[in-house]
Amino acid sequence: MTISAKKSLGQNFLKDEKVLKNIADSIYTTDQDLILEIGPGTGALTKYLVQKPGMYLAYEIDERMKNYLSLYQDCIRYQDFLKCNISKELATYSYQNLYVMANIPYYITTPILEKIINYTNVSQMVLLVQKEVAQRFCAKTHTRNYGYFTVYLRHYFDMEILFEVSRNCFDPKPNVDSAVVKFMRKENIQTMDMTYFAFIKQCFANKRKTLYNNLKNYDWEKIVLILNRYGYTDKVRAEEVSPEVFEEIFWEIR
């Protein structure tokens, strides 16, 4: 039985078994851990994940996949992950560490990550995303890929690109290559509300302008004191400032 990918759901099925196994092997679980897979599709990665120690849970929006996932039926929730009450669901499990695995379409990458950060206690994530998205996630300061979402994610995670995945490994073949990114949650982090996210977006509102021009509505005298303390001038642009300095500025002016 074959199934056609739905363009409206951003479906591109990963078919390379070596890549699938490498993704599964990128996490090390125990019997006390929970693996959450978002969008298992035809179960290509699922068959490797269920062999790992621990419990398994998945969310699949496409009910056409029921025949492919019949072996794991008790573990699959046929719902839109973005609309489900994930906190309530996770509360029914007793686990030590939560691992999130997903092949995420570009158009819902940001909302899925926001939901995971705000409504779960995830320990690690391994996500297959477009290559350019992966580069933005892991970008360093002074590079064109460094942006507000990089800063936001680095508050919560240490991130690394594990390996790239050719477009030829998918069916149907997308127009871009992909990459696998691993997220490892930092210890003793302070939870940030969405006002921090909004502040960071404002800092990068116009990347060609200086930070001063993007933050005219804030107390610039307080901001420049912090910038000077770290060796930045008042002409600095957002792409030059480290996540740690952004956080210090935010707490000072909020």
Q: How many helices (H) and strands (E) does the chain have?
A: 10, 9
Structure tokens at 242: 């480290």
CB 129 within 8 A of CB 101: no
Q: Is residue 241 part of a domain?
A: yes
Q: Is residue 2 part of a domain?
A: no
> What range defines the domain where residue 221 resides?
194-253
Q: Could you tell me if residue 191 is left (phi over 0), alpha (psi between -120 and 50 degrees) or otherwise beta? A: beta
pLDDT score at 175 = 87
Say which residues have a Cβ less than 8 Å from residue 18's Cβ, sequence separation at least 6.
none
Claim to verify: residue 151 and residue 233 sit in the same structural domain: no
Q: Which residues pair with 58 in a beta bridge?
A: 37, 76
User: For the chain (length 254 residues), average pLDDT per consecutive 10?
Assistant: 59 87 98 97 94 97 90 95 96 98 87 93 96 95 94 95 95 89 92 86 92 92 95 94 95 90
pLDDT at 5: 55
DSSP collapsed to 3 states, 141-178: CCCCCCCHHHHHHHHHEEEEEEEEECHHHEECCCCCCE
Token pair 């307080």 is found at 222
Mark whether 85 and 28 lie in a shared domain: yes
Question: Looking at residue 58, what DSSP letter applies?
Answer: E
pTM (two decimals): 0.92
Q: Which of 142, 164, 185 is the last residue of a domain?
A: 185
- Asked if 101 contacts 126 with a C-beta cutoff of 8 angstroms, the reply is yes
Residue type, 41: G
CATH at 118: 3.40.50.150
Instruction: Verify that 177 and 206 share a domain, yes or no.
Output: no
Q: Are residues 243 and 178 in the same domain?
A: no
Report pLDDT for 10: 56
